[in-house]
Amino acid sequence: MEVENAPDVTKIMRQILKRTPFEHVKADQITCMRSTGATSRAYARIWSFPKIWQKALAHPPHYIIEVLAHHFDKLRDDDKIRTIIHELMHIPKNFSGALVPHHGRYHRIDRRTVEKLFQVYGVNSQPKADQPLADKSQASSTKQTTKTPINKIRNFLNL
Ligand SMILES: [Zn+2]
């Protein structure tokens, strides 16, 4: 397995963090990597940094989001975003270096909850109402989406 830094994935991650309620996630303490030749069937995975390592190395919490080139690179842009949202959801509210499992007592990391955040991402990616749109055809094709308050989303996802 080969790994290298993935600045393109970092860029996707930073866009997500700007447009979704992930205020507890510290972008500077996450490194995005791309691996080739991994045997896993996953598109991506997130690596924890256990407390004992943090203490031993005197290093603050840090995460690695690894995308598996073979699967991730052929995804559509939308699905790349969904994939990274999924990985970010594994980061607990206290940003401790540990990971949140897929099924907890008060939360789920699944297609439905990822989709909810993806919608928020989409709404917050749209041009503001008071900004003129580039041309008319774009205006008519822009789907009207109701803005869901961030608080409601946070409660729904238990973020
Ligand atoms: Zn997962």
89 CA → ligand 1 middle, Å = 8
pLDDT in tens, 102-135: 999 889 999 999 999 999 999 999 887 666 656 5
125 CA → ligand 1 middle, Å = 24
Distance CA 16, CA 24 (A): 13
pLDDT in tens, 48-98: 999 999 999 999 999 999 999 999 999 999 999 999 999 999 999 999 999
Distance CA 18, CA 117 (A): 12
pLDDT in tens, 10-58: 999 999 999 999 999 999 999 999 999 988 899 999 999 999 999 999 9
CB 64 within 8 A of CB 29: no
Distance CA 116, CA 108 (A): 12
What's this model's pTM, rounded to 2 decimal places? 0.83
Domain boundaries, the chain: 2-127+141-157
- What interhelical angle do 111-125 and 150-157 show, nearest 10? 160
- For residue 126, give every residue at least 6 positions away whose Cβ sits within 8 Å of its Cβ, in sequence order, or none: 142, 145
60 CA → ligand 1 middle, Å = 23
47 CA → ligand 1 middle, Å = 11
pLDDT value of residue 96:
98
- For residue 21, give every residue at least 6 positions away whose Cβ sits within 8 Å of its Cβ, in sequence order, or none: 117, 120, 150, 153, 154, 157, 159
pLDDT value of residue 158:
63
Burial class from Cβ neighbours inside 10 Å (0-12, 13-18, 19+) for residue 58 reads exposed
56 CA → ligand 1 middle, Å = 27
pLDDT value of residue 133:
58
87 CA → ligand 1 middle, Å = 6
